[in-house]
Homo-oligomer: A and B are copies of this chain.
Amino acid sequence: MTQTPSSDNNGDKDRLKLRRVAIDTYHENVAYLHRNCELYRAEGFQALSKIVIMANGRRIHAVLNVVDDEAIVGTEELGLAEQAFAQLDMQQGEPAWVIHAEPVESMDAVRRKIRGERLLAEDYREIASDIAASRYSKMEMAAFLVACTQSGLDREETLYLTRAMADTGEHMQWDAPLVADKHCIGGIPGNRTTMLIVPIVAAHGLLMPKTSSRAITSPAGTADTMSVLAKVDLSPRSMHEVVNKTRACLAWGGRAHLAPADDILISVERPLGIDSESQMVASILSKKLAAGATHLLIDIPVGPTAKVRHMSQALRLRKLFEYIGDRIGVHLEVVISDGSQPIGCGIGPMLEARDVMQILEGDPDAPNDLRQKSLRLAGRILEFDPDVRGGQGYGIARDILEDGRALRKMQEIIAAQGKIDYAFIAGPLNIEIPADDDGVVTAIDNFKLAKIASLAGAPMERAAGVDLLKKLGEPVTRGEPLYRIHAAFSADFNFARHLAEQDSGYRIGHPDEISHSYMEI
């Protein structure tokens, strides 16, 4: 990077004192200069200029906000919002220098993409690396995402983006020929199969070091649910220790620094509500590539209120996953599953953890749909083992679950990660939502139930959420409870209850009206 002339002599006169400004700007680096700061005036900075901060031997990029209040930043200070301040690893008052940021060169490639051109591997590498280094503003990331969505990425470009994003962070190394992983593309509340599959697969002897995300918009992610039972915020080093001990882990992926460019892009993609298949596939596979997976099972639930609504889209996605998987050298299989209703009974971290433990403990009240789906998926992963004959996976998985090996493995994993003492006591404020008619349950809206559980406080309140009492096809009489809402705080409780009373998310009718099931596994 070339510099403006002033940076040739970072003399004392240009030096600013670092100050932490306790504002959370999420994934964007923001810096604050006082309007009367001599440097601000002399350098011709403007509000929202992109600047480079040099301090402690590092260079970070930030967007400049101009301040008129010395209580926030003084005229000889450089204020940095939390994210930017953390990146420098310095104390307040230490010296820092600021220069104009040169325009990000890889934005030229983005502008070529906007013009409809195909980009090369090198272009995607530079874009991903600039994004990971916080050189892109949110506007620039939005421009990149829209350009990719509108003219589309072809398969080769999706491959380039996958590799480029994987290479922006760490690559985990596992000393095993077969490292199993799974991913569900989401949208189905409850669906906590991972916490059953991992102990089953590890009990069989395969390595399955699973990193998961926390919920962003959903009422629970696997990391949120596992955190009810054990510590999940593991460093890469302790993740390795757990895996060495137990052949598996169920950890939050956040500290492993896997494909950070992907996390940053997601923080823009989500509020924009744009969604492209290429981005989704590149996002998932870049994380798995960085996590060191060699064998990967992808679950695509299909249903009228799932993320993927039509079989044709599921099949198209499957081809793209398979193509990229082959090119990056990951053995990948795709399962298209029934996404027509929530899986299991609980929605929310504690209620989902309860379902999982009931299944592991062989409790006759355990939800059978979650048990069956988990066994089927675990069976497919067991068949990655060359010694397992095709078609035998399910039976092996069932044996491991039924004879208690899965429960013991789960207890080992929990102990290795750090057990948390818990009691399955759902949020004390609760209400049952009744059926409004006689008949059978003909539809359950995944999106609506997830929304109700979120409003009730999940995942922040672990004991909050929704407990389903009826599933598709079950007969109900008018007034009979369909599900129970649990909350910890009355504001949350009232939000969730209000929404559920407007529309329960359930449809009651004649058995013929039950929405078609896509189950093929």
Contacts and interface: CB of A to CB of B under 8 A. Distances in A.
Interface of A: 4-6, 21-26, 32, 35, 42-44, 47-48, 50, 65-69, 71-72, 82, 103, 107, 111, 114-116, 137-143, 145-147, 149-151, 267-268, 271-274, 454-455, 457, 460, 489, 491-492, 494-495, 498-499
Contacts of A111: 273-274
B24 A35 contact: yes
This chain's copy number in the assembly:
2
A23 B67 CA distance: 4
Contact of A495 (B4, B26, B491): B4
Given A5-B499, A116-B150, A47 B26 contact: yes
A32 B32 CA distance: 15
Contacts of A35: 24
B72 A47 contact: no
Nearest to A68: B22
A491 B69 contact: no
A455 B4 CA distance: 11
Nearest to A28: B48
A138 to B, nearest CB: 5
A42 B271 contact: no
Contacts of A42: 489, 491-492
Contacts of A5: 494-495, 498-499
- Which of A35, A115, A274 counts the most B-chain CB atoms under 10 A from its CB? A274
Nearest to A47: B26
B143 A272 contact: yes
Contacts of A66: 23-24
Nearest to A43: B491
B495 A24 contact: no
A69 B21 contact: yes
B82 A68 contact: yes
Nearest to A14: B491
A67 B273 CA distance: 26
- Which of A5, A111, A140 counts the most B-chain CB atoms under 10 A from its CB? A5
Nearest to A490: B42
B107 A273 contact: yes
Contact of A103 (B273, B455, B457, B498): B273
A276 to B, nearest CB: 9
A151 B26 CA distance: 31
Contacts of A151: 150
A107 B6 CA distance: 43
Nearest to A67: B23
Contacts of A498: 5
Nearest to A116: B150
A499 B2 CA distance: 13
Given A48-B26, A147-B146, A6 B491 contact: yes
24 contacts: A6-B491, A21-B69, A22-B72, A23-B32, A23-B66, A23-B68, A26-B48, A44-B455, A44-B460, A68-B82, A111-B273, A111-B274, A114-B146, A116-B150, A138-B139, A139-B141, A139-B142, A139-B268, A139-B272, A142-B146, A143-B143, A143-B146, A146-B147, A147-B150
